[in-house]
């Protein structure tokens, strides 16, 4: 890794560290995602409501962790009051039939949903609509009719819904919602429907049971007035099955991503691995050594061979080799045999630009030297000099 790459990596690591420090130490924003579970401390969790209801005067409080149909089939619901609080409770057709029959026996049912399941809307032929503030602010008044004239502002974070087309059913309007600055027009958001000996209560503002609103004094009173509709000397059943924030399957990764510190540790690890892959993905190769070409030692070789011949005093053999060298040269270049004729010598004379008589004299001297019984060093040098002239 060169100096430039090291600088880039250092800057990236510094930027990530600053980002993590800023994120971990910055105040966590309010989470208004739909939850409604009894253990959640989110803005729309129901832990505060759960803690308050545990200290109420109901005979017993039981939590239903299964569907309505399963709860009735297992005889887990007896006489009393059943409350559903969620953005949407997916009650099936057979479950709704069981609920209606149970209410008709003199029990009470509260469903506080933003949107109601199909069996309920088809049963009572009503619809719900979102209340739009012309000033662009989700800030509304809610109040309980007939119980008090106190108004409860629902806050700027939550939209309000209300009932329409209630003419087809005999419903008592218990709660109204209106714009904060224009209370002339009010819309029903809390109704009561008599069903046999019991009552069904429908409410469109489940956020009232959330921590953010319930912990405010005015909203605590609002929920308190809703609960005053029910008989406290009976059993209370709280739905814990239809909850938006219910953990269906928890994996280590889900747990890590829900924890703020662990989430940023995980993101940092991913970014670090990516940086490592970017800068270390190149194939590492060992240093290739410099291989120098073999030096030309032909001269040294010739000198060595010459020294060998000189030490052995084999001048006759060396002369014979030089003669063979000259003959091969003439044969390859001019096609001349070992015993050249005058015409062949004339060809050599023309090619080398040497007088033919000089050539004949050189050949005579070579022949004379080669016929000696003992060849001296000066004779060898003379042969070498003659052969070199024709090479």
Domain boundary among 218, 243, 268: 243
In terms of residue numbers, what domain contains 339? Answer: 299-390
Please indicate, yes or no, if residue 163 is contained in any of the structural domains.
Answer: yes
Which pLDDT value is given to residue 139?
43
Query: Are both 64 and 213 inside the same structural domain?
Result: yes
Q: Are residues 126 and 190 in the same domain?
A: yes
Give the pairing of strands 60-64 and 171-179: unpaired
Domain count, the chain: 2
Do 99 and 91 contact (CB within 8 A), yes or no?
A: yes
Separation of alpha carbons 332 and 350, rounded Å: 16
Rg (C-alpha) for the chain, rounded Å, is: 55
DSSP state of 228: T
- Least confident range from 95-104, 142-151, 279-288: namely 142-151
237 beta partners: 62, 82
- Work out the average pLDDT over 61-89: 93
Co-location of 312 and 220 in the same domain? no
What was the pLDDT predicted at 88?
93
41 within some domain: no
* Straight-line distance from the first to the last Cα atom of the chain, in angstroms, rounded to the nearest whole number: 60
Q: Is the pLDDT of residue 182 over 60?
A: no
Q: Are residues 235 and 304 in the same domain?
A: no
Q: Are 99 and 82 in contact (CB under 8 A)?
A: yes
Q: Is residue 289 part of a domain?
A: no
Of 195, 221, 243, the position where a domain reaches its end is 243
Task: Indicate whether 233 and 377 sit together in one domain.
Answer: no
Mean pLDDT score of the chain: 81
Residue 1: predicted pLDDT: 57
Domain containing 239 — which CATH number? 3.40.50
155 pLDDT band, cuts 50/70/90, is: low
Residue 304 sits in the same domain as residue 239: no
- Whether 323 and 379 have beta carbons less than 8 Å apart is answered as no
Q: What angle do CA 141, 118, 229 make, to 5 degrees?
A: 45
Helical segments of 228-290, H only: 252-258, 260-280
* Residue 144 domain-assigned (yes or no): yes
> In which region does residue 308 sit, left (phi positive, over 0), alpha (psi from -120 to 50) or beta (all else)?
alpha
Is the domain of 224 the same as that of 121? yes
In a domain, 112, yes or no: yes
**Which comes out higher in pLDDT, residue 152 or 347?**
347
Asked if the model's pLDDT at residue 138 lies above 50, the reply is: no
Are residues 53 and 195 both part of a single domain? yes
DSSP, res 208: G
Q: Would 234 be classed as within a structural domain?
A: yes
Residue identified by tokens 């297992």 is 74
Whether 335 is covered by a domain: the verdict is: yes
Q: Bridge-partner residues for 235, per DSSP?
A: 60, 80
């Amino acid at each position: 890794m060169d100096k430039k790459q090291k600088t880039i990596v250092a800057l990236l690591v510094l930027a990530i560290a600053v980002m993590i420090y800023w994120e971990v130490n910055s105040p966590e924003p309010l989470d208004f995602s739909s939850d409604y579970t009894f253990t959640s401390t989110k803005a729309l969790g129901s832990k505060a409501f759960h803690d308050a209801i545990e200290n109420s005067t109901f005979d017993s409080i039981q939590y239903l962790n299964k569907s309505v149909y399963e709860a009735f089939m297992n005889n887990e619901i007896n006489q009393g009051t059943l409350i559903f609080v969620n953005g949407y409770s997916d009650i099936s057709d057979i479950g709704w039939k069981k609920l209606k029959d149970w209410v008709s026996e003199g029990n009470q049912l509260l469903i506080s949903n933003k949107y109601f399941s199909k069996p309920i809307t088809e049963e009572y032929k009503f619809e719900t609509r979102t209340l739009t503030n012309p000033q662009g602010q989700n800030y509304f008044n809610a109040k309980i009719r007939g119980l008090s004239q106190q108004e409860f502002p629902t806050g700027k974070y939550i939209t309000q819904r209300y009932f329409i087309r209630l003419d087809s059913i005999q419903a008592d309007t218990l709660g109204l919602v209106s714009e904060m600055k224009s209370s002339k027009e009010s819309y029903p958001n809390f109704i009561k429907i008599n069903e046999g000996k019991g009552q069904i209560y429908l409410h469109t503002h489940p956020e009232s049971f959330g921590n953010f609103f319930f912990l405010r004094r005015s909203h605590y009173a609002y929920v308190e007035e809703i609960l005053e509709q029910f008989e406290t000397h009976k059993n209370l059943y709280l739905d814990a099955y239809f909850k938006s924030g219910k953990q269906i399957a928890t994996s280590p990764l889900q747990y890590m991503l829900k924890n703020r510190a662990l989430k940023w540790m995980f993101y940092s690890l991913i970014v670090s691995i990516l940086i490592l892959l970017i800068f270390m993905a190149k194939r590492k190769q060992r240093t290739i050594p410099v291989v120098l070409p073999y030096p030309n030692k032909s001269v040294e070789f010739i000198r060595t061979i010459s020294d060998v011949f000189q030490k052995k005093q084999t001048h006759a053999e060396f002369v014979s080799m030089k003669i063979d060298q000259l003959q091969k040269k003439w044969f390859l270049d001019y096609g001349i045999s070992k015993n050249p004729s005058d015409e062949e010598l004339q060809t050599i004379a023309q090619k080398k630009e040497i007088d033919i008589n000089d050539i004949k004299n050189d050949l005579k001297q070579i022949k004379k030297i080669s016929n000696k019984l003992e060849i001296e060093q000066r004779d060898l040098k003379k042969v070498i000099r003659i052969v070199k002239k024709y090479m």
